[in-house]
């Protein structure tokens, strides 16, 4: 390249850079790549480590100071301060006997998996439903919701929200309830937003009878669903390993029962009851159960399917 041409190109680049523009033929960073990049990291949070910290928080932080006493799990990838995986955040939460987490609503969708404790209920748009260990409960976007503990035990659960996706797209709205809690409440034993543990077990038994005793199972929770979050339960009997998977969906796995280890991109990660496992998009993974195990899979699969971006392959 001649010196005159090189000088002219430098002047050209300078002129459109001053307009906050970039030439597509000489990008500093590529905009397209052959397959999903591996940004967020696989990671495990152990409930046995978290629970004592939540108990200490219960002594120091009341519901007047914090509307929700929770601990958010942020992925250890450099620069991240909030998200568990790219589109979903997870947190552990505890509520003490006699406490009420005041009502609010927001555009993010949410759900919770109950780990321990009895006597706690949630109110979602005026419908009150008890929350029991193993249950999964939905809070669709812009629904009023509060939680209260009328029992004698501290209650622990895991929250999952699509807040990172809302941050990306920016339709964030949040509103506290003007009365603190909803005043007109209807008590229900069953509700579309509540997936009962005993019903999940019954679904597993029906699926096991259909497929045979030696097959790890996956069922989808429904028919009620959130628009942006897909929910599946996995049952893996002791000694079994789930089929290897690799998908464009971001996923968080929560251990409802049992123990074992995950193989994620060739690295082994131990897990047991209450643990949280982040499996970012396009990471090859499988789960091996050392004890009979059930895991909840929370993913953005439904969003990717709607947009035609859901792909998978067998690693």
CATH number of the domain encompassing residue 189? 2.60.120.10
Phi, psi of 6, rounded to the nearest 5 degrees:
-60, -40
Q: What is the bridge-based pairing of β-strands 100-106 and 276-279?
A: unpaired
Q: Which of the residues in the chain have pLDDT under 50?
A: none
| Segments forming the whole domain that contains residue 51 | 43-195
pLDDT of residue 28: 85
Residue at which a domain ends, from 146, 166, 195: 195
Other C-beta atoms within 10 Å of 302: how many?
17
Answer yes or no: do 148 and 202 share one domain: no
Answer yes or no: do 202 and 178 share one domain: no
Stated pTM of the model: 0.95
Looking at the domain assignment, is residue 26 inside a domain? no
pLDDT of residue 67: 75
Residues in the chain: 315
Answer yes or no: do 225 and 112 share one domain: no
Answer yes or no: do 169 and 179 share one domain: yes
Answer yes or no: do 163 and 201 share one domain: no
Other C-beta atoms within 10 Å of 125: how many?
16
pLDDT of residue 278: 98
pLDDT of residue 19: 94
CA 262 to chain centroid, in Å, comes to 17
263's tokens? 């193989």
Answer yes or no: do 216 and 287 share one domain: yes
pLDDT of residue 64: 73
Residue at which a domain ends, from 175, 195, 215: 195
pLDDT of residue 25: 87
Answer yes or no: do 151 and 76 share one domain: yes
pLDDT of residue 213: 81
Answer yes or no: do 137 and 224 share one domain: no
Residue at which a domain ends, from 163, 195, 227: 195
Answer yes or no: do 168 and 219 share one domain: no
Dist CA 93 CA 174 (whole Å): 19
Answer yes or no: do 147 and 184 share one domain: yes
Number of domains in the chain: 2
Answer yes or no: do 205 and 306 share one domain: yes
């Amino acid at each position: 390249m001649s010196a005159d041409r090189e000088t002219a190109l430098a002047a050209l680049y300078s002129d459109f850079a001053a307009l906050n523009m970039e030439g597509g033929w000489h990008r500093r960073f590529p905009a397209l790549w052959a397959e999903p990049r591996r940004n967020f990291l696989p990671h495990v949070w152990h409930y046995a480590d978290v629970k004592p910290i939540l108990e200490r928080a219960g002594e120091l932080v009341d519901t007047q100071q914090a509307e929700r006493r929770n601990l958010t799990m942020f992925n250890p990838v450099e620069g991240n301060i909030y998200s568990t995986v790219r589109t979903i955040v997870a947190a552990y939460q505890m509520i003490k006997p006699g406490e009420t987490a005041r009502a609010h609503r927001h555009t993010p969708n949410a759900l919770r998996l109950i780990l321990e404790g009895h006597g706690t209920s949630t109110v979602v748009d005026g419908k009150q439903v008890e929350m029991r260990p193993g249950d999964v409960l939905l809070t669709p976007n812009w629904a009023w919701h509060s939680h209260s503990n009328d029992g004698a035990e501290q209650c622990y659960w895991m929250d999952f929200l699509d807040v990172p996706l809302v941050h990306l797209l920016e339709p964030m709205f949040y509103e506290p309830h003007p009365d603190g809690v909803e005043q007109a409440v209807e008590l229900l034993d069953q509700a579309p937003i509540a997936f009962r543990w005993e019903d999940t077990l019954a679904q597993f038994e029906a699926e096991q009878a259909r497929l045979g005793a030696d097959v790890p199972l996956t069922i989808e929770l429904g028919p009620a669903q959130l628009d942006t979050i897909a929910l599946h339960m996995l049952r893996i009997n002791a000694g079994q390993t789930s089929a290897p998977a690799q998908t464009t969906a971001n996923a968080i796995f929560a251990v409802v029962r049992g123990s074992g280890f995950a193989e994620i991109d060739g690295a082994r990660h131990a897990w047991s009851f209450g643990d949280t496992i982040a499996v970012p998009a396009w990471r090859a993974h499988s789960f091996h159960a050392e004890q009979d195990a059930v895991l909840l899979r929370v993913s953005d699969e439904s969003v990717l399917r709607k947009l035609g971006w859901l792909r998978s392959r067998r690693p």
